[in-house]
Structure 1
Amino acid sequence: MFYLWGGSRRRFLPDFIVRLANSKTLVLEIKGEDSPQNVAKRDALKLWVDAVNAKGGFGTWCWDVAFEPAQVHDILHRHGYMNHAP
């Protein structure tokens, strides 16, 4: 996908695309710190996910960002990850 930054179009490849047990597809970004450029990427990602969901035919997509590794567990559960461990 693409986003605008500094007056030019730039390519954006998400860090992870995760297929969850509930059949949702999560686009997950991992960031050590936030920046205006990361905000621009998230804005583009939100528009892209909204467009994919509106178009239909690709299942339900969602997105999120983790700024600390410990947040990943909560993000997965928030979007419907099911823990199948005994």
Structure 2
Amino acid sequence: MRDAKDPGTLELRFRARAGRPSLFGRPLTPAERARRYRLRRADRMRMARRSPEKASDVSLLDELRGSMAMGRARNIHRIIREIAARYPL
């Protein structure tokens, strides 16, 4: 906004809209946003399964929860060893 009485003021440009930016020229529906979130989370869990040393703590905990539900003992031990290595006593 510019003061009309002051010729020395410059017009400031602000973003037109506040809020979440649109993707592909249109806003995502809540279902699309949730689907993309679930896909990202699944990708992070797969990365935690393949190489736990590169995964984030949250991904490790998600994968640990999934491995415990599925009864994957070897994977549980790998993840617990990685968490213990990151946070020594």
Q: Which has the higher strand share?
A: 1
Same fold (TM over 0.5): no
TM value normalised by structure 2? 0.32
- Higher relative contact order (CA closer than 8 Å, sequence separation 6+): 1
Task: Please identify which structure carries the higher helix content.
Answer: 2
